[in-house]
Amino acid sequence: MGVDLGVELAGLNLRTPLILASGILGLSGRLLVEISRIEDVGAVTTKSIGLKPRDGYPNPTIAVLPYGFINSMGLPNPGVDFFLKELDEAGSFGSPLIASFYGYSIEEIAETARIIASHPSVSALELNVSCPHVSGISEIGVKPELVAEAVSKVKKEVGKPLFVKLSPNTHLIVDVARAAAEAGADGLTAVNTVKAIAIDAELCKPILSGVYGGLSGPALKPIALRCVYEIYEEVEIPIIGCGGVSSYLDVVEFILAGASAVALGSVIALKGIMVFRELARGLSEYLERKGVRSVEEIVGLSHR
C-alpha cells in the first residue's frame, strides 16, 4: 500500500480514517483494546455509557431486514464506575478510545462526561443525544438550544475533544450541528440511526419488545450521506461519517461529502472485524488510482 491513510481528527491521530462505531462490540474493555490494536483500525468507540447501570430491553431487540437492521437494545450498559474499573484492567489501547456517553439531563450529561474523561485511556468523548427511542435521550438531540447547553457545560469541565452524535430524526440537523459547533464541540458524528419499526404480520404486533428501534445498514447510507453533505456546507468542525457503510466506495463517498473519518457498525455484524482491512485496502487503492497522496486532500471534494 503506497498511500498513508493517517488522518488528524480534532487533535487525535488516527492510523486510518476507519473507526469502530458506538454500539458494536463496544461494551467490554478488553475487546475494545483488542480491536484498537488491529492495524487498520483508526479509533474505537464504546457503547454509550450512563451514570448508572441500565438493563436495557428484553428480547427481541433486533430485527434483521434485507437492507439493514432495526435494533432496540435500550442502552444496556454497566454504568460509568464499573466501566472505568474494566478499563483499568483492559490494557493499553493501540489506537484512540472514544467514549460514547449519555445523560437524561444537562447536569447528568456533564457529570458523566467529567467522570469518563478522567480515565487516562479515554482520548475523546462522543455525546449520544440521538438514541432514537429511549425517552429522555432522543428529545435532547433534536433541540439546538439543549445540545448547545450540554456541549458548553461539558466543555467547561472536560479538556478532551468532544464529538456530538447527531440525530437524523429531525429536519433541524444542520441547526443542531451549528449549535453544537458554536458551543465548542470539537467534532460531529453524523448520523445515529433512523427511528423505525418492524411488524410481524402473523402475530399482528410489533416485533421488538421496545416497539421502536433504530434503522442502520445500507438503507441508512444515502440519508447519512446527505446529512454529512449538508452539515459540511454550514459547519467548520470535522465530521465522522456514520451510517450504512459496507464497501470502500461508501467510505470514499462519505469523505467526498465532507467526512474526515468514517465509522463502521452494521457491516461488522455481517462481515466480521477484518472488514477494516478490506476497506482500508480499497481506500488506499482508490487514492493511489486517483493520484492522491492523503485522505485529507479529498475531504469535501464533491462540494468544489
Distance between CA 168 and CA 187 in Å, rounded?
16
Beta bridge partners of 128: 165
Beta bridge partners of 71: 62, 214
Instruction: Output 245 or 283, the one with its CB closest to ligand DHB.
Output: 245
Instruction: Output 50 or 300, the one with its CB closest to ligand DHB.
Output: 50
Q: Cell numbers 431486514 correspond to what residue?
A: 65
Instruction: Output 29 or 214, the one with its CB closest to ligand DHB.
Output: 214
Known catalytic membership, residue 242: no
Q: Cell numbers 465548542 correspond to what residue?
A: 184
Q: For residues 297 and 9, is the Cβ–Cβ distance under 8 A?
A: no
Minimum distance of ligand DHB from residue 13's CB (angstroms):
27
Instruction: Output 141 or 187, the one with its CB closest to ligand DHB.
Output: 141
Minimum distance of ligand DHB from residue 71's CB (angstroms):
5
Alpha helices (H) in the chain, listed in sequence order? 29-36, 80-90, 106-117, 144-157, 173-182, 221-234, 248-257, 266-271, 275-289
Distance between CA 241 and CA 197 in Å, rounded?
24
Minimum distance of ligand DHB from residue 74's CB (angstroms):
5
Instruction: Output 121 or 192, the one with its CB closest to ligand DHB.
Output: 192
Residue nearest to ligand DHB (CB): 214
Residues in the site for ligand DHB, rule: CB under 6 A? 23, 71-75, 128, 131-132, 192-193, 214
DSSP-derived secondary structure letter, 213? E
Q: For residues 188 and 235, is the Cβ–Cβ distance under 8 A?
A: yes
DSSP-derived secondary structure for 28-86? -HHHHHHHHTSTT--EEEPPPB-SS-B--PPSP-EEEETTEEEE-----B--HHHHHHH
Minimum distance of ligand DHB from residue 66's CB (angstroms):
19
Task: Look up residue 31 and give its three cell numbers.
Answer: 475487546
Instruction: Output 95 or 138, the one with its CB closest to ligand DHB.
Output: 138
Q: For residues 258 and 229, is the Cβ–Cβ distance under 8 A?
A: yes
Minimum distance of ligand DHB from residue 137's CB (angstroms):
8
Minimum distance of ligand DHB from residue 33's CB (angstroms):
22
Positions annotated as catalytic residues are 131
